[in-house]
């Protein structure tokens, strides 16, 4: 199954619209949000068109296509307005004979790995920096940030399909790719 993975929308209606355009262009039946959906956070500047209520209105109609994990900016009040679960710390995705541990990245990350077997992957957001790198015997994956990218990277998302993790700019141009397992 083709899954679009994205992180760190941070309440930007402008970038949420662009993300949903990418979701339709990619024809991905599912979208995984890696947290920090509505609130910009105290360390970030306001993203373009900061409008959490508009983001809610765009995402809720897609509730049957979205699964999500909690970011460090999510709170119980976010769950009260979003129609899909957002408060789980992680989810697991089987990819061939491997597992992908999906989380925001503020708890589990390269410096604090979750329990994983050799060949498994850690997929997280939080850093706002895209990544697809083999570190030891685990893949460290990050789709970057939809609205507040860092280190000179453009806004981005990733596609996970057939054991391939591909990071793309919001216009669909490929930035990096990794074969994480089949």
Decide if 56 contacts 29 (C-beta within 8 A): no
- Lowest average pLDDT, out of 3-7, 80-84, 177-181, goes to 177-181
Residue 47: how many other CB atoms lie within 10 Å: 22
Number of domains in the chain: 1
Helix (H) or strand (E) holding 59: helix 52-59
Residue-level pLDDT at 60: 98
DSSP structural state of residue 155: S
166 by Cβ neighbours in 10 Å (0-12 / 13-18 / 19+) ranks as: middle
pLDDT tens for each residue of 73-129:
999 999 999 999 999 999 999 998 899 999 999 999 999 999 999 999 999 999 999
Helix (H) or strand (E) holding 6: strand 3-6
Give CA–CA dist 163/157, Å, rounded.
16
pLDDT tens for each residue of 143-154:
999 999 999 999
Backbone angles phi, psi at 13, to 5 degrees: -65, -40
pLDDT tens for each residue of 136-145:
999 999 999 9
Where residue 49 falls (left for φ over 0; alpha for ψ -120 to 50; beta otherwise) is: left
Residue 161 has pLDDT above 90, yes or no: yes
| Angle CA 167–168–172, to nearest 5 | 155
Does this model's pTM top 0.85? yes
Give CA–CA dist 49/88, Å, rounded.
27
pLDDT tens for each residue of 12-52:
999 999 999 999 999 999 999 999 999 988 888 899 899 99
DSSP letters along 86-115, please?
---SEEEEEETTEEEEEE-SSSSBTTBPPS
The whole domain housing 42 covers 3-179
Cα 63 to the chain's mean position, in Å? Answer: 16
Q: What's the CATH code of the domain at 87? A: 3.60.21.10
3-state secondary structure (DSSP) of residue 35: coil
Residue-level pLDDT at 182: 60
Decide if 56 contacts 82 (C-beta within 8 A): yes
């Amino acid at each position: 199954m083709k899954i679009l993975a994205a992180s760190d929308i941070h309440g930007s209606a402008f970038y949420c619209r662009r993300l949903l355009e990418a979701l339709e262009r990619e024809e991905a039946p599912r979208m995984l949000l890696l947290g920090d959906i509505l609130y910009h956070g105290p360390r970030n500047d306001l993203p373009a068109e900061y409008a959490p209520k508009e983001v809610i209105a765009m995402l809720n109609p897609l509730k049957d296509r979205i699964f999500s994990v909690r970011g460090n900016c999510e709170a119980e009040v976010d769950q009260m307005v979003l129609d899909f679960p957002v408060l789980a710390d992680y989810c697991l995705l089987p990819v061939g004979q491997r597992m992908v541990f999906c989380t925001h990245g503020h708890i589990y990350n390269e410096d604090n790995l979750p329990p994983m077997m050799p060949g498994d992957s850690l997929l997280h957001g939080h850093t706002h920096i895209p990544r697809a790198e083999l570190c030891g015997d685990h893949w460290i994956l990050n789709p970057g940030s939809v609205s507040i990218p860092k280190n000179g990277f453009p806004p981005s998302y990733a596609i996970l399909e057939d054991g391939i993790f591909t990071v793309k700019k919001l216009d669909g141009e490929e930035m990096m790719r990794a074969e994480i397992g089949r």
